[in-house]
Amino acid sequence: MAEMPEYIPGLAGVPAARTSICLIDGIVGKLQYRGYPIEVLAEQGTYEEVAYLLLFGKLPTTRQLDEFRGQLIAERGLKFRIIDLLKTLPESGHPMDALTAAVAAMGMFYKGDHIEDLEFRRLSVIRLIAKLPTIVAAWHRIRRGDDPIKPSTELSHAANFLYMLEGEVPTRLAERVFDVALVLHAEHSMNASTFTARVTGSTLTDPYAVVASAIGSLAGPLHGGANEQVLATLEDIEDRSPQAVRRWAEDRLARKEKIMGFGHRVYKVKDPRATILQGLATQLFRKFGSTPDYDLAVELEGQMTDLVGSKGIYPNVDFYSGIVYQKLGIPIDLFTPIFAVSRVSGWLAHLLEQLENNRIFRPSQIWIGEADRTFVPIEERG
């Protein structure tokens, strides 16, 4: 028998691709998209510009960006049968499941002959980035009995999403804050959902199946789903005095329970996205007033740093995103769908890169079962 390779749970540290999309150094907290620091992109870029950068590897010129924006705006609308499909789903269901269903169905409405057809590939990428926000907003309205709002043809990607939720054009600050949140979530190298996208894409299936599978992967509480649970975690802390917060954290850690919004497979320092989001939260609070949850979050971060900072457990991107979204008036169960609305550009950049030099994923395994067993007829089994 051939020599057994070493088994690495969760494939931790095993390279799954050669890539030039996203660089992370978790030891020093460095994150770059296509070689540009996240701090610069968050301050100077827009989501559309960053999506272009991720997909095509370079920053767009004004003409290229205008054209890209125009293509996205033209594809924002949903076919009425996709809206009909959303109407058939149980309103108590999670929006991530509604999003998975609608995106998977898009593959039936926008059938291409083959992913090798470059025009089909290009159009699919535009459609997916353009329509995900419309699906999430439409589902949110449909489940509470309201009609979906038609997407604007004037507003930015970020402002249009907020507009489609309640029909109100957001303030400049709300638009900017949400746009930065989208930039921060757009890409993050070989995490579970991106790996899922690359694996699914490597079979040469259509991009709608690729994104539907990635959304399913993102939904889990150890991945994108954590952002919804951070606010519930904060709610769980009744006494918000520093001593009580410390006791609460010690108690959780003693029971080996995970505290949502902390820890990261790659970062051993504070996630740089959490730092940027925290800055956005303070901008929002200056304008619209603070929230007790924010003060509690800062206290919890301090106590956790004291207790487990030495183990490399610090706030991740999800820790402050929920507080920001809540201040923007976004319902909690839309937090993870918003993550998908942003991350879709990263998934698609990885799909395009995978297809450039594709080889179907087919890892090996370590057999731990019994082999060569004898089949015993059912009447003779004890």
Q: Which residues bind ligand ACO (CB under 6 A)?
A: 10, 222-224, 226, 253, 256, 258-265, 311, 313, 316-318
Examine the residue annotation and report whether 117 is marked as an active-site residue of this protein: no
**Tally of residues, the chain:** 382
Residue closer to ligand ACO (CB basis): 165 or 219: 219
Give helix 47-56 / helix 335-356 axis angle, nearest 10°: 30
**Annotation marks residue 157 as catalytic:** no
Q: In what order do the strands lie in the sheet with 22-25?
A: 22-25, 30-33, 36-37
Contact 122, 355 (CB under 8 A): no
**Residue 5: CB minimum distance to ligand ACO, A:** 20
CA angle 128, 359, 131 (to 5 degrees): 0
Burial of 359 (0-12, 13-18, 19+ CB in 10 A): exposed
Q: How far is the CB of 118 from ligand ACO (least distance, A)?
A: 32
Please say which residue, 68 or 314, places its beta carbon nearer to ligand ACO.
Answer: 314
Q: How far apart are CA 21 and CA 87, in angstroms?
A: 37
Q: Measured at CB, which residue is nearest to ligand ACO? A: 263
For residue 259, the minimal CB distance to ligand ACO (Å) is 4
Nearer Cβ to ligand ACO (187/318): 318
Give phi and psi for 173, each to the nearest 5. -70, -45
Q: Which is nearer to ligand ACO, 55 or 259 (CB)?
A: 259
52 to 62, 239, 357: CA distances (angstroms): 12, 46, 20
Give me the catalytic one of 188, 271, 318, 350.
Answer: 318
What is the smallest separation between the CB atom of 322 and ligand ACO, expressed in angstroms? Answer: 11
Cβ proximity to ligand ACO, 224 vs 272, nearer residue? 224
Catalytic residue among 264, 271, 293, 350: 264
Least distance to ligand ACO from the beta carbon of 355, Å? 25
CA-nearest of 25, 111, 140, 122 to 75 is 122
Residues recognised as catalytic: 264, 318
